[in-house]
Structure 1
Amino acid sequence: MYKIVAKQKLNHLVEKMVIHAPFVARKCMPGQFIILCVEEGDERIPLTIQDYDREKETVSIIYQIVGYSTQKLAQKEVGDTLAHFAGPLGVASVLHNSKRRVLGIGGGVGAAPLYPQIKELQAQGVSCDVILGGRDKDYVILQDEFKAVSNELFFATDDGSLGTKGFVTTVLNELLAKGRQYDEVIAIGPLPMMKAVVSVTKPLNIPTMVSMNPIMIDGTGMCGGCRVTVGGQTKFACVDGPDFDGFEVDFDEAMRRQSMYKKQEQHICNLKLGGGTNA
């Protein structure tokens, strides 16, 4: 059993939990993830590691309340326990500390897996700028954390309630137009956002890493749900990634597959939550 030692509500849909998990905290690295079960016999869900503290033996996760398991997880409070918390899983991010200037771009909850990468690069002496985006100011998370580890921090919101009105690519284009030069971009967020970032950076040949964690399901490579074409080859986000060269990812295929079972997922969620078959 894994004890919840802290819990924070970041907005009405997103929460952060800090879990006492000594073995995971001892080994995990930026880019990796865990698999948890809220209760014994529950669904296994993969969640990216947002932060870790080896001395306190804790691991931080951030989740968006979108389905049955995350709704059940949200009902847990400090002092409660989780049945299973396995990891670290996935391939750790390859951090190019030889780069002089890196731009991190996080969309929504994509800021969570971006944070440990920027934090580690900054600790290794790399100058990092960060763009955070969201639907409105309440959906732009981890602002204080990124302020502490970035050189400059920029915001983009759909409604203009924080920073630039527009998308993260709006800010990206503005920075590049002003002559900002970056040796690498790390973009993590919804698939359409990452595709849009690559559409800007690829013509300029700015190396861009993306994370395919949004399409992970089983987390072990057995279900095939996170299959993605990278450089013309079939890869699995959970065992070969989740980080890949953004220039080589077939985003269109990934987006088609991600939406394939939305109706069935909602139907099962409604049944489990007692909403009925027509909810």
Structure 2
Amino acid sequence: MNRIIRKRVLGPAVKLIEVESPLIAKKVQPGQFVMLRVHEKGERIPMTISDYDRQKGTVTIIFQEVGKTTMLLGRLEEGDSILDLVGPLGKPTDLQGLERVVAIAGGLGVALVFSQIKELHRRNSKVDCIIGARNKDLVLLEEEIEPFCTNLYIVTDDGSRGERGFVTDVLKRLLDEGRRYDRAIAVGPLNMMKVVSDLTRQYGLPTVVSMNPIMVDGTGMCGCCRLTVGGQIKFACVDGPEFDGHLVDFDEVIKRTAMYWEEEKIAVELLQQRL
């Protein structure tokens, strides 16, 4: 159980693993996530389910090695097993009645958007996709995602792939050209989702963002993933992970996310000394 059957390196420190987990694969829907633990003494971390195959009984996870646990996860190879994999958790993305959608993904945000775009395509919805990254080496899943997009726009900070600029540059241009959408879906770094939400608010475009704050148990017990949405406290793990981007207090979330950066840095340094 939880055996890795496929592993790919997608970019600098970015890896894809396909894991055998038939019970999760049977029930998962786009937008949901899992909690995993690499070994017995390891921490629990949330991971977006990027894709799934019900017939094979597998789920696909894409991650970047930025901390101790993701570095340990990245060292696992095909044939190895993850100790714990719990899910599917969180509420699925509500895609009912959407005829035209603009999906904006920054960096690893494409991992979550991928499953949503596939499902929208299956429902015959039209989806304009905007993928942003710092440079060409960090543009992920372009070939995989393109068949499911009505239009695909690639944008990089340095112009090494696609247009030079930011995802909001492309989004604003499309909206100014008169494109009309039932909803915007934005997934990526917190600052990116904040800026996208600020822009779409000006155009009256309903916007959903996927939040991934500090999370410990993933079932609503610890309260670590709390955030303020529309003046009310919500838990990302059970009330989300998706919320109305126009109501999320992004400044609060950004501040809370940075609370343990020093401890995370120390944990990585200690791990590197042992490897």
> What secondary structure sits across from 2:227 in the alignment?
strand
Relative distance call for 1:93 and 1:14 in structure 2 (3 A) is: same
Shift in Å at residue 222 of structure 1? Answer: 3.0
- Residues 1-279 of structure 1 mapped to structure 2, 5 A cutoff: 1-96=1-96, 98-274=97-273
Contact (CA 8 Å) 1:191, 1:214: kept in 2 or not? no
Give the Cα–Cα distance (whole angstroms) in 1 for the partners of residues 18 and 170 of structure 2: 32
RMSD of aligned alpha carbons = 1.3
Give the Cα–Cα distance (whole angstroms) in 2 for the partners of residues 254 and 217 of structure 1: 16
> What secondary structure sits across from 1:81 in the alignment?
coil
Give the Cα–Cα distance (whole angstroms) in 2 for the partners of residues 225 and 132 of structure 1: 30
Shift in Å at residue 177 of structure 1? Answer: 1.9
The amino acid that maps onto 1:155 is I
The amino acid that maps onto 2:4 is I
Contact (CA 8 Å) 2:213, 2:253: kept in 1 or not? no
Give the Cα–Cα distance (whole angstroms) in 2 for the partners of residues 213 and 264 of structure 1: 19
Give the Cα–Cα distance (whole angstroms) in 2 for the partners of residues 57 and 258 of structure 1: 33
The amino acid that maps onto 1:238 is C
Moved more, 111-120 or 33-42: 33-42
Shift in Å at residue 274 of structure 1? Answer: 2.5
Give the Cα–Cα distance (whole angstroms) in 2 for the partners of residues 123 and 215 of structure 1: 33
Contact (CA 8 Å) 1:209, 1:246: kept in 2 or not? yes
Shift in Å at residue 118 of structure 1? Answer: 1.1
Give the Cα–Cα distance (whole angstroms) in 1 for the partners of residues 260 and 73 of structure 2: 22
> What secondary structure sits across from 1:60 in the alignment?
strand
Relative distance call for 1:74 and 1:229 in structure 2 (3 A) is: same
> What secondary structure sits across from 1:172 in the alignment?
helix
Shift in Å at residue 192 of structure 1? Answer: 0.3
> What secondary structure sits across from 1:17 in the alignment?
strand
Relative distance call for 1:156 and 1:216 in structure 2 (3 A) is: farther
Give the Cα–Cα distance (whole angstroms) in 2 for the partners of residues 242 and 265 of structure 1: 23
> What secondary structure sits across from 1:2 in the alignment?
coil
Contact (CA 8 Å) 1:190, 1:214: kept in 2 or not? no
Relative distance call for 1:124 and 1:185 in structure 2 (3 A) is: same
Contact (CA 8 Å) 1:48, 1:213: kept in 2 or not? no
Shift in Å at residue 43 of structure 1? Answer: 1.4
The amino acid that maps onto 1:246 is G
Shift in Å at residue 100 of structure 1? Answer: 2.0
Relative distance call for 1:205 and 1:245 in structure 2 (3 A) is: same
Shift in Å at residue 41 of structure 1? Answer: 2.9
Give the Cα–Cα distance (whole angstroms) in 2 for the partners of residues 149 and 126 of structure 1: 10
Relative distance call for 1:139 and 1:272 in structure 2 (3 A) is: same
Q: State the percentage of identical aligned residues.
A: 50
Give the Cα–Cα distance (whole angstroms) in 2 for the partners of residues 62 and 100 of structure 1: 28
Give the Cα–Cα distance (whole angstroms) in 2 for the partners of residues 217 and 270 of structure 1: 22
> What secondary structure sits across from 2:91 in the alignment?
coil
Shift in Å at residue 174 of structure 1? Answer: 1.4
Give TM-score, length-normalised by structure 1. Answer: 0.95
Give the Cα–Cα distance (whole angstroms) in 2 for the partners of residues 145 and 133 of structure 1: 15
Give the Cα–Cα distance (whole angstroms) in 1 for the partners of residues 102 and 213 of structure 2: 20
Contact (CA 8 Å) 2:213, 2:236: kept in 1 or not? no
Give TM-score, length-normalised by structure 2. Answer: 0.96
Structure 1: gaps spanning 5 or more residues: none
The amino acid that maps onto 2:29 is M
Structure 2: gaps spanning 5 or more residues: none
Moved more, 255-264 or 123-132: 255-264
